[in-house]
Chains A and B, each alone.
Chain A
């Protein structure tokens, strides 16, 4: 936990924050509307005696009273998918429409890819890229189990992603849920901070900047790019946004979400970031009983 001490200047009720980081997470699933309505998924859970609780901010996110949501008929049929609550945020913020072309830049293992497809009623195209072939097989397993038929899966470095194989020249929307130092997953994975170093934060931030830049370039004018991480480090969050605001033709935009959050921070450890990064949202574990998360919405102007 001492590695999180650096965030004390940013986080209100810091003791409650640290305490929340040491609790296990509730068991949360997303209803896969490609295969079942929330009503039918809930009826299947009722039949099996598995209790569920609605989440106000999303009609597809449910908390279950079982530690093993995978051992249910609803899961076997691909009606529900185990997905941490905050992990369901960025696809909701991107809000892709049926028929659009959407890029999921760091897609494996596919929870967010399949959520994008579901939001699009499985119509249009989700290009799901990941640079890790092993993790792509998990993504393919998940898309097929959830009955998704509108994905194209590619295996390249997103920083140099090429649209050449495809018959279109820009995406309507892009989801950039980058690899990160994963501090916010500490409740799911208590060893998440064991290998944490400032060097790793700096090096992964370089990769994040490259991927977000490429996503802005690959998205058409007026299109939306959502950037997200599961870390608290401003170096991987606001600093990455600040960099891309300078380098590419885009701006941050406000968004609403029915979860408690704090605005992005404009200074940390002597660094200052563009005022508009306050439009991004920070999700802390003690506010909604979730993992930690960061999410920003950008509009492409060029």
Chain B
């Protein structure tokens, strides 16, 4: 802040929940307080799941609604006042960032860390939205939950592993009794 900070035109911008803003590339370019940067989002997927940053080379990231990050294939002018853009991707502005079920289904095949393979029966429980005990000696927190389908592993969505238990955050509308 400089001595001109009383000037109303010089206020720190805040998040406008009615529009999409492209994430700044890095912290140096950040204007809106608390907004995640593109670099932080790439680092998060890399560190949490070892999904290589190149995976998202052709994609842009956007914030609309405080902390809600959306992913768009390609780019478009920012800001943009419309209803939705691409896919809801990641929840930020909280201690533990949380990926969406749909994002993990779409991009989770690239993950090589914090991926738990479950049996068909465990998968059924997971997609019913049920919590279950699970043997897992890796990190606590959000995991890519995957099972074998048609010959290859396929991500079911994101699970939360805490206290020896795999919790299912599969949203009500996506839950199935299979």
Chain A residues with a Cβ under 8 A of chain B: 34-36, 40-41, 43-44, 46-47, 70-73, 75-78, 122-125, 133, 136, 140-141, 143-145, 147-155, 165-167
CB-CB nearest in chain A for B19: A165
B149 an interface residue at 8 Å Cβ cutoff?
Answer: yes
Which residues from chain B contact A36 at a C-beta distance below 8 Å? Answer: 150
B134 an interface residue at 8 Å Cβ cutoff?
Answer: no
Q: Is the CB of A165 within 8 A of B80?
A: yes
- Interface SS majority for chain B: mixed
Which residues from chain A contact B93 at a C-beta distance below 8 Å? Answer: none
Q: Please judge, given known A-B contacts A149-B86, A153-B82, whether A77 and B105 are in contact too, CB under 8 Å.
A: yes
Q: Is the CB of B102 within 8 A of A144?
A: yes
Q: Is the CB of A44 within 8 A of B72?
A: no
Q: Please judge, given known A-B contacts A76-B176, A154-B83, whether A149 and B72 are in contact too, CB under 8 Å.
A: yes
Which of B80, B106, B150, B151 lies at the interface centre, i.e. has the most chain A CB atoms within 10 A of its CB?
Answer: B150
Interface residues on B, range: 20 to 34
Contact mask for chain B residues 52-96; partner A; CB cutoff 8 A; 1 contact, 0 none: 000000110000000000011110110011111111100000000
Q: Please judge, given known A-B contacts A44-B150, A152-B85, whether A147 and B106 are in contact too, CB under 8 Å.
A: yes
What are the 7 A-B residue pairs with the smallest beta carbon separation, nearest first?
A167-B77, A43-B150, A153-B84, A147-B106, A44-B150, A144-B102, A149-B73
B10 an interface residue at 8 Å Cβ cutoff?
Answer: no
Q: Please judge, given known A-B contacts A149-B106, A165-B81, whether A44 and B149 are in contact too, CB under 8 Å.
A: yes
Q: Please judge, given known A-B contacts A73-B178, A76-B127, whether A152 and B87 are in contact too, CB under 8 Å.
A: no
B13 an interface residue at 8 Å Cβ cutoff?
Answer: no
Complex Cα distance, B80 from A151, in Å, reads: 13
19 other A-B residue contacts (CB within 8 Å) besides A43-B151, A147-B106: A34-B106, A70-B176, A71-B178, A73-B149, A75-B176, A76-B156, A76-B174, A77-B105, A78-B105, A125-B74, A125-B76, A136-B83, A149-B59, A149-B72, A149-B86, A149-B87, A165-B81, A165-B82, A166-B80
Q: Please judge, given known A-B contacts A44-B149, A125-B74, A125-B76, whether A153 and B106 are in contact too, CB under 8 Å.
A: no
Complex Cα distance, B150 from A140, in Å, reads: 27
Which residues from chain B contact A71 at a C-beta distance below 8 Å? Answer: 176-178
Q: Please judge, given known A-B contacts A141-B173, A147-B106, A149-B59, whether A124 and B82 are in contact too, CB under 8 Å.
A: no
Which residues from chain B contact A125 at a C-beta distance below 8 Å? Answer: 74, 76
